[in-house]
Amino acid sequence: MSTPAVSPIPANMPTLTPHIVCRGADAAIDFYVRAFGAVELARMPGPDGRLMHAMVRIGDSPLMLVDEFPEMDCHSPQSLKGTPVILHLYVADVDAAIARAAEAGARVTLPPADMFWGDRYGRIEDPFGHAWSLASHLRDMSAEEIVAASAQGCTGAA
């Protein structure tokens, strides 16, 4: 009897999925639902109540998350005093999306503005220390147009 072949990449999963560490992953899931319209897909608590694994879908993209486990060298941005990672999210209306995230508890770090590369773009920090950039694409531009527009500064030309 042969074993059926199993795909090395699960169905409905991209090859790259962000997996973030949150201090208070339960509350983070609730925030992502309120702020970004996330849909909860999985929540697996460990014996001590911390989440060993969870997953939500924002738009068409999965986001995995886990509680802090310092004993396993698994630290949140709050423990690390910041993050070098920015999660980027394209949305239909960046102004409305940033307002919704702020209402849910995010801190706006860059208000939305038209950017030289053709997007309306802004940034937030979620209550768990993760940095997010949000954008709505306004127009397609060639690499040459973007380089020329960048000489005009960080905003405008979009």
For the chain, give the mean pLDDT: 94
Supply the range of the domain harboring residue 39.
19-150
The Cα–Cα gap between 69 and 60 comes to 28
- 157 part of a folded domain: no
Residue pair 65/55 in contact by the 8 Å Cβ criterion:
yes
**What is the domain-level CATH number for residue 36?**
3.10.180.10
pLDDT tens, residue by residue, 78-99: 999 999 999 999 999 999 999 9
pLDDT tens, residue by residue, 99-145: 999 999 999 999 999 999 999 999 999 999 999 999 999 999 999 99
DSSP-derived 3-state class of residue 120? strand
The Cα–Cα gap between 105 and 85 comes to 20
- 13 part of a folded domain: no
- 1 part of a folded domain: no
- 108 part of a folded domain: yes
Q: Cα dihedral angle (11, 12, 14, 17), rounded to 10 degrees?
A: -110
Entry pTM? 0.90
Specify the number of domains making up the chain: 1
Residue pair 57/39 in contact by the 8 Å Cβ criterion:
yes
- 2 part of a folded domain: no
